[in-house]
Amino acid sequence: MPMCRQGVVGLAGGGFTLKGQHFNGPGVISASKFDVGSTEMLASGGTDLGSTIGGTQVVSSGGTALRSIFSAGTQLLSAGAVADQNIVSAGGRIAVGRGAVTKNVTVGAGGSLHAERGGKLT
């Protein structure tokens, strides 16, 4: 399991340019651990499968987060983002923005789930 410590950023996506380098295909981050103070960003075509998030996960349009665990971590879903089968507990927070969708969320002790108007919970 790859581990990202405080201040580290993990990025997965496709069809974007970062610091002059172009990424064409989709990217996947799987079964990783993001400690408090770290950030994971999922852009168009980016997917996270089953990571443990203690930091912040930002999912933008076309990004997908599946079966992740948020314990003291935060998931921010913006328009066009999809999350499914995630678990939030122990100070974790999931925020569903307008136009974002989260499905099958499990909210455990100390976890919270918030949706803006136009955010979809199923």
Look at 58 and 21; give whichever has higher pLDDT: 58
pLDDT at 19 over 50: no
3-state DSSP of the chain: CCEECCCCEEEECCCEEECCEEECCCEEEECCEECCCCEEEECCCEEEECCEECCEEEECCCCEEECCEEECCEEEECCCCEEECCEEECCCEEEECCCCEEECCEECCCCEEEECCCCEEC
Residue 20: predicted pLDDT: 52
Average pLDDT over the chain reads: 84
Share of the chain above pLDDT 90, in %: 59
Q: Could you tell me the residue ranges of all domains in the chain?
A: 3-11+27-116
Q: What's the rounded mean pLDDT across residues 33-56?
A: 87
Q: How far apart are CA 76 and CA 33, in angstroms?
A: 17
Bridge partners for 107 per DSSP: 88
Residue 16: predicted pLDDT: 46
User: pLDDT band at residue 35, thresholds of 50, 70 and 90?
Assistant: confident
pLDDT at 18 over 80: no
> Which pTM does this prediction carry?
0.83
